[in-house]
Amino acid sequence: MFEPVERSRAFERVVEQIEQAIYSGQLKPGDHLPAERALVEEFKVGRSTVREALRILESLGLLHTTPGSPLGPKVSASNVAGLHRMLHGFVQMENVSLADLVQYRMISGSAANLLAAHLRSPEHLAQMATAIKKMESTPPSATRQFAEQDLQFHQAIADASGNNLLNVVNGIINKLIVNLMADAINKSVDPDRTREDFLALHRQLHDAIEQQDGELAAHLARSSLLDVYGPLLSTEERKRLQLLIPQASRPCDPS
């Protein structure tokens, strides 16, 4: 009949006020909050209270404090870093398997490609094409630059898909997979997938998106992920991922 009431703590109300100021745009990214000792007077609370509030806001990815700076805590540009940390914690805590992560990426990655195929502009195609060209002309030793251009390529697709939420979560999950599998990938993935295969896949993807073939673009994302990470999974898990790849044997819609 009655709702439970949680005793509010002073620092929580401080957090709420600053949080609201950021979300409402009153405090823009790059702005600076007053110094801790100034906030103490403004909020009429002790310094430790202010500091605990700032620690929370910092862990939420909304603030960044730099000691010594006379400008005070800086409002962050985005809180994706906090999201990444939280999702990392979730994966650790709930023992999310690699199979689940890859499956998730197959879902969201293919959807992003599908959308990109329909919504891409000539600029997006150009960015993808130049990224491929630069990758081709990069010496095999320069792994750093190669990865940079790969990022550019996928960034173009993400931009074209037009859904920021989808791209951010997709990117985080991707990073999580790479982080968790850092060792396994180095010994298993690199030898299998040669540089030429990698480039061929990118060219196919570019062509599919250019021709607005969303289904093909989506399929390429799904199958390539399965190719790359399949060897690291059990037969059972691979079977689960296979379910996401449509079997074209279904009867066609007569319309």
Partner DNA sequence: CCTAGCCGCTGGTCAGACCAGTCACTAGGT
Partner DNA sequence: ACCTAGTGACTGGTCTGACCAGCGGCTAGG
Which one of 62-70, 124-132, 134-142, 167-175 is the stretch in contact with DNA (CB under 7 A)?
A: 62-70
Give me the amino acid identity at 97: S
Q: Which does 114 bind (CB under 5 to 8 A by kind): DNA, a second copy, none?
A: a second copy
Q: Does 22 bind a second copy (CB under 8 A)?
A: yes
Q: What share of the chain is helix, strand, coil (3-state, %, to 5)?
A: 70, 0, 30
Under rule CB under 8 A, how many of the chain's residues touch a second copy? 61
> Per CB under 8 A, does 52 bind a second copy?
yes
Q: Which residues contact 16 (CB under 8 A, 6 or more apart)?
A: none
Element housing 71 (H / E): none
What is the footprint of DNA within residues 114-153 (CB under 7 A)? none
User: In whole angstroms, what is the distance from residue 150 CA to residue 155 CA?
Assistant: 9
**Of residues 19, 65, 138, 169, which one binds DNA by CB under 7 A?**
65
Length reported for the chain: 255
| Interacting partner of 119 out of DNA, a second copy, none (Cβ under 5 to 8 A depending on kind) | a second copy
**Six-digit token pair at 121?**
């502009």
One of 17, 20, 38, 211 touching DNA (CB under 7 A): 38
- Amino acid, res. 36: E
Site for a second copy in 94-133 (CB under 8 A): 94, 96, 100-101, 103-104, 107-108, 111, 114-115, 118-119
| Alpha-carbon dihedral sign for residues 147, 149, 150, 152 | positive
CA distance 238 to 222: 12
- Please say whether the beta carbons of 98 and 232 come within 8 A: yes
Within residues 31-50, the interface with a second copy by CB under 8 A covers 48
Q: Can you read off the two tokens belonging to residue 228?
A: 């790359």
- Supply 214's token pair: 């969303």
Taking contact as CB under 8 A, which single stretch among the options 32-40, 124-132, 135-143, 161-169 is the one that binds a second copy?
161-169
| Beta-carbon contacts of residue 41 (< 8 Å; ≥ 6 apart) | none
**Which residues contact a second copy by CB under 8 A?**
7, 11, 19, 22-23, 48, 51-52, 55-56, 58-62, 67, 78-80, 82-83, 85-87, 89-94, 96, 100-101, 103-104, 107-108, 111, 114-115, 118-119, 162-166, 168-169, 214-215, 240, 243-244, 246, 248-250, 252-253, 255
Q: Which residues would be at the binding site for DNA (CB under 7 A)? A: 9-11, 35-38, 40, 44-49, 51-52, 54, 65-70, 72-73
